[in-house]
């Protein structure tokens, strides 16, 4: 998979050649009116753990894909890849899963936000029975 396989609901927000990649989900609806802008789901691809400062990343470090539901809320199970191409494919796959309504994001929230999560379920096509 490549970025050309990215679902229409996702946008390439930032793409640094050989560096960081950020994908954003439906920035057209996370506009402070329909949905809160800080809740914009993003997928971040970085070389080395995103918890380490950028200057401390080794050129041999693995690539990581992290899904942010909000700045402080991430999906568990950060994905690790040996190459950037494999990480891009993994990020596109994760974006497709989310767009298809198969990502379980409710458990990532320590404080339930039922009204917001119900609206997000509707946006992503998840049914009340999922």
Residues 37-78 pLDDT 10s: 999 999 999 998 766 665 655 667 899 999 999 988 999 888
Q: Average pLDDT, stretch 99-111?
A: 89
- Tokens in use for 44? 């971040």
**CA gap 82, 23 in Å, rounded:** 20
Kindly report the average pLDDT of the chain as a whole number.
88
**CA gap 109, 70 in Å, rounded:** 10
129: confidence class by pLDDT, cuts 50, 70, 90: low
Give me the residues paired with residue 88 across strands: none
Stated pTM of the model: 0.88
């Amino acid at each position: 998979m490549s970025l050309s396989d990215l679902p229409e609901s996702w946008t390439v927000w930032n793409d640094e050649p050989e560096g960081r990649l950020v994908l954003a989900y439906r920035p057209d609806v996370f506009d402070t009116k329909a949905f809160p802008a800080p809740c914009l789901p993003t997928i971040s691809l970085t070389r080395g753990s995103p918890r380490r400062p950028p200057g401390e990343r080794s050129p041999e470090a693995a690539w990581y894909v992290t899904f942010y539901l909000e700045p402080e809320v991430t999906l568990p199970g950060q994905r690790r890849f040996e190459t950037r191409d494999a990480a891009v494919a993994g990020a596109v796959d994760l974006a497709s899963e989310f767009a298809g309504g198969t990502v379980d994001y409710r458990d990532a929230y320590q404080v339930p936000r039922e009204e917001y999560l119900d609206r997000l379920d509707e946006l992503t096509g998840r049914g009340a029975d999922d």
